[in-house]
Amino acid sequence: MEDNKMAKGLMVGFLAGSAIGAAIALLYAPKSGKELRADIKIKKDELIDDASEYWEVTRTKANDYMNEAKVKAQDVISQAKQRASSLIDDANQILNDAKQKATTTLESTKEKISNETQHLKDAVKAGVDAYKDEKTKQQQA
């Protein structure tokens, strides 16, 4: 970008210097008015051609830079989309893993609670049966 500014400055300086130098050379040259006007017209046409050429080169470079920027922007957008898609896939995988672990833990916990509940029921039943047996023994004695 710095080179482009420098090149632009050099080209503008060259064109301005050419115009001023040509004007001074024409004004100091010992020629008739008709010859001077013809020389001025020739120099004017040359400067217009130079300016047109400079404009075309500048326009072409600007279009090239815009196209390059567009391609780079599309690449960045494409990479961002791919990265976002990858992150979404990773997040979904983590979510599925968490669901699986939660389901496994829930099932394991349910089974443990069921086992403990059964042990507790068995213990209560054994206690009730022991109480009834003891009460029956006391009534018979």
pLDDT for res 137: 82
Task: Report pLDDT digits (tens) over 59-98.
Answer: 999 999 999 999 999 999 999 999 999 999 999 999 999 9
The Cα 140–Cα 133 span in angstroms is 11
Q: pLDDT tens digits, residue range 89-126?
A: 999 999 999 999 999 999 999 999 999 999 988 888 98
pLDDT tens across 5-63, in order?
776 777 777 777 777 777 777 667 676 778 877 877 888 898 889 888 888 988 999 99
User: What pLDDT is attached to residue 87?
Assistant: 96
Query: Residue 73, CB half-sphere, CA atoms under 13 Å: how many?
Result: 6
Dist CA 71 CA 81 (whole Å): 15
* DSSP reduced 3-state for 47: helix
pLDDT at 26: 65
pLDDT for 141: 67
pLDDT at residue number 21: 76
In the predicted structure, residue 1 carries a pLDDT above the cut 60: no
Read off the pTM. 0.47
Alpha helices in the chain (DSSP H): 2-28, 33-140
> Which residue type occupies 75?
D
Q: How high is the pLDDT of residue 9?
A: 72
Is 4 or 120 the better-scoring residue by pLDDT? Answer: 120
pLDDT at 2 over 70: no
Domain-by-domain residue ranges, the chain?
2-140
Q: Return the CA Rg of the chain.
A: 48
